[in-house]
Structure 1
């Protein structure tokens, strides 16, 4: 176990982010702070204080908030029942989720599911529209059509990523820093010769639920989980990157002649509208934008199989 004096400030920030990454990647699994701190080579106490200082929120408060917000996102966009959502979000029983959910949102899961527009949803969309308004007069609605979607089957992927926003204005930070991070991941893709990988962007959070200022936007490279050789190399050479599993399965793929910033708001409108109308339901909150070219992108939306 390393002592606190063994870490530089940059290393402490990275370790806090690694703790956040672990919590996100194990949202459905039981774990405690001691297990996470030991994995990171830190004492319980030092990890607790480091995470709170760096992330401006105690670790277990983040875990609870993150799980409940993801549960709220599943209530919003998936076809899962509350028992299934409990399992997905790390609650042992439906009663445990319902109690925690009502304490946090002041609504029961059933009541929450009936809300047509959430306060955070409206505010996040308004802020993001103001920041990404450079799209101008492009007629976006014609591109965001279910008829343009292709249903595809994707393998399980491992995502190596960096958070590109941790401040008060995550979308603005994302736009300002995206070119830098996509350049890094493009070099990795070329260096390790992984043509089946995708450079993607998205959020760890549930967009209609999480406060705008707390959204964690990421950029990363998703690699098929069966590419063991590459994964071993990346684990050895890029241990500072955060890491998470992206489940494979049935997805909708929607190609778009626009960049990620232009696609963001109409993408969310498209997902929200189709989920509300029952055209499709999502299997999780892990939809993302694949950055294929500077002015071309693809949206991937995970589908719930039992609705087909």
Structure 2
């Protein structure tokens, strides 16, 4: 595939985002740039330059950074050991992860796990508070208690999503665009009558460690992975949507009488505090907010059964 004058900025962005989506969905698997470009039906050179131009960094730089940041998130919030985290993030050995991790973060995985407050963590939360006008010191924080959580089992799901914000101010973009995207996914639910689906929002990234300006926030519709008929229909009708597998298993479900934007900061404080105190440990970075009514949402936190 060659770049032509007929390809719009939106088309080039869509190609790059397909590559980003593939890297995220296969974070623990070995792959090469050539394999990704061929899968997307384009030449190595074309994909390489398009991705760097649109995303702002070379593809393999993104892949390495994303894997290491997810590893850092797992070190922060999960109960996995470093060997398990290495496998989950695409590193063949613990020593390979440790070497790359120290080069990137200037701390070993063991040392990193002991850090109480990360620089990016504080900065991201401070920015988000000013945008959403929420915080853990508000009366709303009284809703964020483990006693209010229900232990549920969530099936493996396929998420069809759009990245609703990337760039200099992702949370502000998210606030501005969310109503539009949620409306689109509600129409999908109505059109196809998908009773077991959820409209959800979250981030592809590890919030405590990813630079605020590089966060990728999404909204999408999650469908049970065993609903093959519906999956075929969605992929045939909406080929432009990005796709992500979300691991099922043990989750904590926390119902909240507030909108997603208000819930965001107290949610993160709740997760971080309970993981640090060992009340529960996460099985991955894929926590999300399920959206239904304008003044009601549900937080879903993947947990390790042995820790909760």
TM-score normalized by the length of structure 1: 0.97
Q: Distance in 2 between matches of 1:138 and 1:34?
A: 50
Check if 1:11 corresponds to 2:11. yes
Of 96-105 and 9-18, deviating more is 9-18
Q: Distance in 2 between matches of 1:167 and 1:76?
A: 25
Of 298-307 and 258-267, deviating more is 298-307
Q: Which residue of 2 aligns with 1:288?
A: 288
Q: Which residue of 2 aligns with 1:37?
A: 37
Pairs within 5 Å for 1:1-308: 2-5=1-4, 7-133=7-133, 139-308=139-308
Give SS of 1:222's match: strand
Q: Distance in 2 between matches of 1:223 and 1:192?
A: 12
Runs of 4+ in structure 1 over 4 Å off: 134-138
Q: Cα offset for 1:134?
A: 6.2
Report the CA distance shift for 1:65/1:32 in structure 2 as closer, same or farther (over 3 A). Answer: same
Q: Cα offset for 1:304?
A: 1.1
Q: Distance in 2 between matches of 1:99 and 1:138?
A: 42
Query: Where does structure 2 lack aligned partners over 5 or more consecutive residues?
Result: none
Give SS of 2:165's match: coil
Give SS of 2:229's match: helix
Q: Distance in 1 between matches of 2:277 and 2:210?
A: 23
Report the CA distance shift for 1:275/1:35 in structure 2 as closer, same or farther (over 3 A). Answer: same
Report the CA distance shift for 1:104/1:201 in structure 2 as closer, same or farther (over 3 A). Answer: same
Q: Cα offset for 1:9?
A: 2.9
Give SS of 1:195's match: coil
Query: Residues 206-256 of structure 1, C-alpha deviation per residue, up to 9 Å, x if partnerless?
Result: 000000110100000000001111100111111111100000000000000
Contact 2:129–2:135 (8 Å) recurs in 1: no
Q: Distance in 2 between matches of 1:46 and 1:134?
A: 43
Query: Where does structure 1 lack aligned partners over 5 or more consecutive residues?
Result: none
Q: Distance in 1 between matches of 2:138 and 2:99?
A: 46
Q: Distance in 1 between matches of 2:142 and 2:127?
A: 23
How many pairs were matched up? 307
Of 132-141 and 187-196, deviating more is 132-141
